Protein backbone atom coordinates (compact mmCIF):
# COMPACT_ATOMS: atom_id res chain seq x y z
CA UNK A 1 0.00 0.00 0.00
CA UNK A 2 1.31 3.44 -0.94
CA UNK A 3 1.31 5.77 2.08
CA UNK A 4 2.89 8.86 3.55
CA UNK A 5 6.07 8.23 5.54
CA UNK A 6 6.91 11.85 6.38
CA UNK A 7 5.21 15.23 6.06
CA UNK A 8 6.10 18.82 6.90
CA UNK A 9 3.73 21.76 6.71
CA UNK A 10 3.31 25.36 7.80
CA UNK A 11 0.06 27.09 8.68
CA UNK A 12 -1.36 30.26 10.17
CA UNK A 13 -4.74 28.62 10.78
CA UNK A 14 -3.75 26.63 13.87
CA UNK A 15 -1.89 27.23 17.11
CA UNK A 16 1.03 25.28 18.52
CA UNK A 17 -1.15 23.29 20.92
CA UNK A 18 -3.57 22.38 18.11
CA UNK A 19 -0.78 20.72 16.14
CA UNK A 20 0.71 19.08 19.24
CA UNK A 21 -2.68 17.46 19.84
CA UNK A 22 -2.53 15.94 16.33
CA UNK A 23 0.99 14.62 16.78
CA UNK A 24 1.39 13.46 20.39
CA UNK A 25 -0.15 10.32 21.83
CA UNK A 26 -0.47 8.53 25.13
CA UNK A 27 2.91 7.65 26.67
CA UNK A 28 4.86 10.17 24.57
CA UNK A 29 7.34 12.61 26.03
CA UNK A 30 7.89 16.20 24.90
CA UNK A 31 11.41 17.53 24.47
CA UNK A 32 11.58 21.31 23.99
CA UNK A 33 14.48 23.21 22.45
CA UNK A 34 15.30 26.21 20.32
CA UNK A 35 13.60 26.25 16.93
CA UNK A 36 15.05 26.18 13.40
CA UNK A 37 14.30 28.41 10.38
CA UNK A 38 13.83 31.51 12.63
CA UNK A 39 11.19 29.75 14.74
CA UNK A 40 11.68 30.53 18.42
CA UNK A 41 10.84 27.13 19.87
CA UNK A 42 10.69 23.46 18.86
CA UNK A 43 8.73 20.80 20.73
CA UNK A 44 9.71 17.27 19.69
CA UNK A 45 7.48 14.28 20.39
CA UNK A 46 9.36 11.19 21.63
CA UNK A 47 7.60 7.82 21.67
CA UNK A 48 7.99 5.02 24.21
CA UNK A 49 10.95 3.53 22.30
CA UNK A 50 12.85 6.81 22.52
CA UNK A 51 12.46 7.73 18.84
CA UNK A 52 11.37 11.17 17.69
CA UNK A 53 8.14 10.85 15.69
CA UNK A 54 7.75 14.53 14.89
CA UNK A 55 7.83 18.08 16.17
CA UNK A 56 6.02 21.40 16.20
CA UNK A 57 7.79 24.75 15.87
CA UNK A 58 6.37 28.16 16.70
CA UNK A 59 7.23 31.70 17.77
CA UNK A 60 10.32 33.70 16.95
CA UNK A 61 10.45 35.74 13.78
CA UNK A 62 7.76 33.59 12.17
CA UNK A 63 5.00 35.44 13.99
CA UNK A 64 1.71 33.54 13.86
CA UNK A 65 3.03 30.80 11.59
CA UNK A 66 3.55 27.31 13.05
CA UNK A 67 5.24 24.29 11.51
CA UNK A 68 4.49 20.59 11.94
CA UNK A 69 6.83 17.71 11.09
CA UNK A 70 5.88 14.04 11.33
CA UNK A 71 7.72 10.92 10.20
CA UNK A 72 7.28 7.18 10.26
CA UNK A 73 4.21 5.14 11.11
CA UNK A 74 2.17 8.06 12.44
CA UNK A 75 2.42 10.02 9.23
CA UNK A 76 -0.75 8.79 7.43
CA UNK A 77 -3.05 9.48 10.39
CA UNK A 78 -1.49 12.86 11.18
CA UNK A 79 -1.65 13.99 7.54
CA UNK A 80 -5.30 12.96 7.30
CA UNK A 81 -6.17 14.86 10.48
CA UNK A 82 -4.19 17.95 9.47
CA UNK A 83 -5.79 18.11 6.04
CA UNK A 84 -9.24 17.69 7.50
CA UNK A 85 -8.85 20.50 10.02
CA UNK A 86 -6.43 23.19 8.89
CA UNK A 87 -5.52 24.96 5.69
CA UNK A 88 -1.75 24.71 5.28
CA UNK A 89 1.20 24.62 2.88
CA UNK A 90 3.16 21.40 2.42
CA UNK A 91 6.93 21.93 2.49
CA UNK A 92 7.92 18.26 2.27
CA UNK A 93 6.31 14.88 1.85
CA UNK A 94 7.69 11.36 1.67
CA UNK A 95 5.55 8.65 0.12
CA UNK A 96 6.52 4.99 0.08
CA UNK A 97 5.54 1.43 -0.72
CA UNK A 98 6.98 -1.72 0.88
CA UNK A 99 7.62 -5.08 -0.79
CA UNK A 100 8.34 -8.22 1.23
CA UNK A 101 9.29 -11.24 -0.82
CA UNK A 102 12.52 -13.12 -1.62
CA UNK A 103 14.57 -11.36 -4.27
CA UNK A 104 12.47 -8.16 -4.10
CA UNK A 105 15.47 -5.83 -4.16
CA UNK A 106 16.99 -7.33 -7.32
CA UNK A 107 13.54 -7.50 -8.91
CA UNK A 108 12.85 -3.81 -8.31
CA UNK A 109 16.40 -2.64 -8.97
CA UNK A 110 16.19 -3.48 -12.68
CA UNK A 111 13.30 -1.10 -13.54
CA UNK A 112 14.77 1.60 -11.28
CA UNK A 113 18.06 1.53 -13.19
CA UNK A 114 16.16 1.42 -16.47
CA UNK A 115 14.29 4.62 -15.58
CA UNK A 116 17.55 6.18 -14.39
CA UNK A 117 19.20 5.53 -17.75
CA UNK A 118 16.16 6.51 -19.81
CA UNK A 119 15.83 9.95 -18.21
CA UNK A 120 19.50 10.56 -17.42
CA UNK A 121 18.93 10.91 -13.68
CA UNK A 122 21.87 11.31 -11.31
CA UNK A 123 22.17 8.35 -8.95
CA UNK A 124 24.24 6.95 -6.10
CA UNK A 125 24.73 3.59 -4.43
CA UNK A 126 24.91 3.47 -0.65
CA UNK A 127 25.89 0.62 1.66
CA UNK A 128 28.42 -2.14 1.14
CA UNK A 129 27.29 -3.99 -1.98
CA UNK A 130 29.96 -6.62 -1.44
CA UNK A 131 28.16 -7.61 1.76
CA UNK A 132 24.45 -7.30 0.92
CA UNK A 133 23.40 -8.72 4.27
CA UNK A 134 24.13 -5.25 5.68
CA UNK A 135 21.60 -3.60 3.37
CA UNK A 136 21.89 -1.81 0.05
CA UNK A 137 20.45 1.50 -1.17
CA UNK A 138 20.06 3.14 -4.58
CA UNK A 139 19.31 6.87 -4.65
CA UNK A 140 18.10 8.93 -7.62
CA UNK A 141 18.06 12.71 -7.86
CA UNK A 142 20.69 15.36 -7.24
CA UNK A 143 21.19 16.63 -3.70
CA UNK A 144 19.78 20.02 -4.67
CA UNK A 145 16.74 18.56 -6.44
CA UNK A 146 13.23 19.04 -5.08
CA UNK A 147 12.58 15.40 -5.99
CA UNK A 148 14.54 12.41 -4.71
CA UNK A 149 13.95 8.67 -4.77
CA UNK A 150 15.53 5.77 -3.01
CA UNK A 151 15.17 2.01 -3.09
CA UNK A 152 16.60 0.30 -0.01
CA UNK A 153 16.51 -2.88 2.02
CA UNK A 154 14.41 -1.72 4.93
CA UNK A 155 14.35 -5.06 6.71
CA UNK A 156 18.15 -5.12 7.00
CA UNK A 157 18.43 -1.79 8.81
CA UNK A 158 19.74 -2.31 12.36
CA UNK A 159 16.58 -0.99 14.00
CA UNK A 160 14.38 -3.42 12.01
CA UNK A 161 16.44 -6.61 12.10
CA UNK A 162 14.61 -7.86 15.20
CA UNK A 163 11.44 -8.15 13.06
CA UNK A 164 13.11 -10.90 11.01
CA UNK A 165 12.01 -9.46 7.65
CA UNK A 166 15.26 -9.55 5.65
CA UNK A 167 13.40 -9.43 2.31
CA UNK A 168 11.50 -6.24 3.10
CA UNK A 169 12.33 -3.50 0.55
CA UNK A 170 11.06 0.06 0.45
CA UNK A 171 10.60 2.33 -2.57
CA UNK A 172 10.42 5.89 -1.26
CA UNK A 173 9.89 9.24 -2.95
CA UNK A 174 10.68 12.58 -1.31
CA UNK A 175 9.23 15.81 -2.69
CA UNK A 176 9.98 19.32 -1.44
CA UNK A 177 7.52 21.56 -3.29
CA UNK A 178 8.34 25.25 -3.66
CA UNK A 179 6.36 28.48 -3.97
CA UNK A 180 2.73 28.06 -5.03
CA UNK A 181 3.19 24.30 -5.48
CA UNK A 182 3.19 24.00 -1.67
CA UNK A 183 -0.50 24.84 -1.71
CA UNK A 184 -1.14 22.19 -4.35
CA UNK A 185 0.78 19.49 -2.48
CA UNK A 186 -1.26 20.14 0.65
CA UNK A 187 -4.00 18.19 -1.17
CA UNK A 188 -2.03 15.68 -3.26
CA UNK A 189 -2.48 12.04 -2.25
CA UNK A 190 0.38 9.69 -1.41
CA UNK A 191 -0.14 7.95 -4.76
CA UNK A 192 -0.55 11.05 -6.93
CA UNK A 193 2.66 12.57 -5.50
CA UNK A 194 4.52 10.05 -7.69
CA UNK A 195 3.46 12.23 -10.62
CA UNK A 196 5.94 14.91 -9.49
CA UNK A 197 8.03 14.45 -12.65
CA UNK A 198 8.18 12.39 -15.82
CA UNK A 199 10.74 10.05 -14.32
CA UNK A 200 8.89 9.52 -11.01
CA UNK A 201 5.69 8.88 -12.96
CA UNK A 202 7.62 6.30 -14.95
CA UNK A 203 8.80 4.72 -11.69
CA UNK A 204 5.20 4.60 -10.49
CA UNK A 205 4.28 2.71 -13.63
CA UNK A 206 7.16 0.27 -13.23
CA UNK A 207 6.99 -0.30 -9.46
CA UNK A 208 3.42 0.46 -8.46
CA UNK A 209 1.49 -0.27 -11.63
CA UNK A 210 0.10 3.29 -11.62
CA UNK A 211 -0.41 5.63 -14.56
CA UNK A 212 -0.31 9.17 -13.17
CA UNK A 213 -0.78 12.75 -14.33
CA UNK A 214 1.97 15.28 -13.72
CA UNK A 215 1.87 17.33 -10.50
CA UNK A 216 5.01 19.46 -10.80
CA UNK A 217 6.41 20.59 -7.42
CA UNK A 218 9.08 22.98 -8.71
CA UNK A 219 9.17 26.70 -9.33
CA UNK A 220 8.26 26.05 -12.97
CA UNK A 221 4.68 25.32 -11.86
CA UNK A 222 2.46 28.35 -12.38
CA UNK A 223 -1.28 28.85 -11.91
CA UNK A 224 -3.40 29.59 -14.96
CA UNK A 225 -4.19 33.19 -15.85
CA UNK A 226 -7.76 32.62 -14.67
CA UNK A 227 -6.55 31.38 -11.29
CA UNK A 228 -4.10 34.29 -11.00
CA UNK A 229 -6.92 36.75 -11.63
CA UNK A 230 -9.14 35.02 -9.08
CA UNK A 231 -6.40 35.04 -6.45
CA UNK A 232 -5.80 38.74 -7.07
CA UNK A 233 -9.49 39.41 -6.54
CA UNK A 234 -9.50 37.42 -3.30
CA UNK A 235 -6.43 39.28 -2.01
CA UNK A 236 -7.97 42.65 -2.87
CA UNK A 237 -11.54 42.03 -1.72
CA UNK A 238 -11.28 38.96 0.53
CA UNK A 239 -12.51 40.58 3.75
CA UNK A 240 -15.37 42.28 1.88
CA UNK A 241 -16.42 38.96 0.31
CA UNK A 242 -16.41 37.28 3.71
CA UNK A 243 -18.63 40.04 5.12
CA UNK A 244 -21.06 39.74 2.20
CA UNK A 245 -21.23 35.96 2.56
CA UNK A 246 -22.08 36.31 6.26
CA UNK A 247 -24.67 39.00 5.53
CA UNK A 248 -26.36 37.10 2.72
CA UNK A 249 -26.37 33.73 4.48
CA UNK A 250 -23.47 31.78 2.99
CA UNK A 251 -21.02 31.44 0.12
CA UNK A 252 -23.55 29.68 -2.09
CA UNK A 253 -25.92 32.63 -1.84
CA UNK A 254 -23.04 35.04 -2.46
CA UNK A 255 -22.16 33.15 -5.63
CA UNK A 256 -25.73 33.38 -6.93
CA UNK A 257 -25.87 37.08 -6.02
CA UNK A 258 -22.66 37.77 -7.90
CA UNK A 259 -24.01 35.94 -10.93
CA UNK A 260 -27.22 37.99 -10.87
CA UNK A 261 -25.22 41.22 -10.55
CA UNK A 262 -23.01 40.17 -13.45
CA UNK A 263 -26.08 39.49 -15.61
CA UNK A 264 -27.55 42.89 -14.71
CA UNK A 265 -24.32 44.68 -15.59
CA UNK A 266 -24.13 42.77 -18.86
CA UNK A 267 -27.68 43.79 -19.79
CA UNK A 268 -26.94 47.40 -18.89
CA UNK A 269 -23.84 47.29 -21.03
CA UNK A 270 -25.85 46.07 -24.03
CA UNK A 271 -28.46 48.80 -23.52
CA UNK A 272 -25.74 51.45 -23.30
CA UNK A 273 -24.19 50.21 -26.53
CA UNK A 274 -27.58 50.20 -28.24
CA UNK A 275 -28.33 53.74 -27.05
CA UNK A 276 -24.94 54.95 -28.21
CA UNK A 277 -25.54 53.36 -31.60
CA UNK A 278 -28.92 55.01 -31.97
CA UNK A 279 -27.46 58.40 -31.00
CA UNK A 280 -24.76 57.98 -33.62
CA UNK A 281 -27.36 57.16 -36.26
CA UNK A 282 -29.41 60.26 -35.45
CA UNK A 283 -26.29 62.37 -35.46
CA UNK A 284 -25.53 61.16 -38.95
CA UNK A 285 -28.97 62.34 -40.16
pLDDT per residue over 34-89, tens digit each? Answer: 999 899 999 999 999 999 999 999 999 999 999 999 999 999 999 999 999 999 99
State what percent of residues in the chain have pLDDT above 90.
61
Domain spans of the chain, in order of start: 3-26+43-208, 225-284
pLDDT at 259: 80
For residue 213, pLDDT over 80 is answered with no
State what percent of residues in the chain have pLDDT above 70.
89
Strand ranges inside the chain, DSSP E: 3-11, 29-34, 41-46, 52-58, 66-71, 89-100, 123-126, 137-140, 147-152, 168-175
For residue 138, pLDDT over 60 is answered with yes
pLDDT per residue over 23-37, tens digit each? Answer: 999 899 999 999 998
pLDDT at 256: 77
Closest CA to 199 of 145, 125, 137: 145
Q: Which residues contact 121 (CB under 8 A, 6 or more apart)?
A: 115, 140, 141, 199
Residue of 109 and 219 predicted with greater confidence:
109
Local structure of residue 25 (DSSP, 8 states): -
Local structure of residue 250 (DSSP, 8 states): S
pLDDT per residue over 96-129, tens digit each? Answer: 999 999 999 999 999 999 999 999 999 999 988 8
Q: Which residues contact 77 (CB under 8 A, 6 or more apart)?
A: none
Give the pLDDT mean for 236-246: 79
Backbone angles phi, psi at 35, to 5 degrees: -80, 170
Choice among 84-93, 161-170, 275-284 with the minimum mean pLDDT? 275-284
* Single pTM value for the model: 0.74
Q: Which residues contact 240 (CB under 8 A, 6 or more apart)?
A: none
Total residues found in the chain within this entry = 285
Average pLDDT of every residue of the chain: 87
pLDDT per residue over 70-82, tens digit each? Answer: 999 999 999 999 9
pLDDT at 269: 77
CA 243/CA 256 separation, integer angstroms: 15
Q: What share of the chain is helix, strand, coil (3-state, %, to 5)?
A: 45, 25, 30
Give the pLDDT mean for 229-252: 76
Helix 225-248 and helix 251-284, axial crossing angle in degrees, nearest 10: 110
pLDDT per residue over 180-210, tens digit each? Answer: 899 999 999 999 999 999 999 999 999 998 7
Amino acid sequence: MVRFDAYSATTTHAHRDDLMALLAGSGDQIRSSRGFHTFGERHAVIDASGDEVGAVMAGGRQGGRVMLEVKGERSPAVVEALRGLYEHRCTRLDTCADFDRPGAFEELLAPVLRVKDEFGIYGEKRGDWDYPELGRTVMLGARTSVIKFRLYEKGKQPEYRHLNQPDRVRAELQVRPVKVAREVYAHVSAVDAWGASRWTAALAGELLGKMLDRVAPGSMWKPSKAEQALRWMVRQYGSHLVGLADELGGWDVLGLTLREMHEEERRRGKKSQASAGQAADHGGD
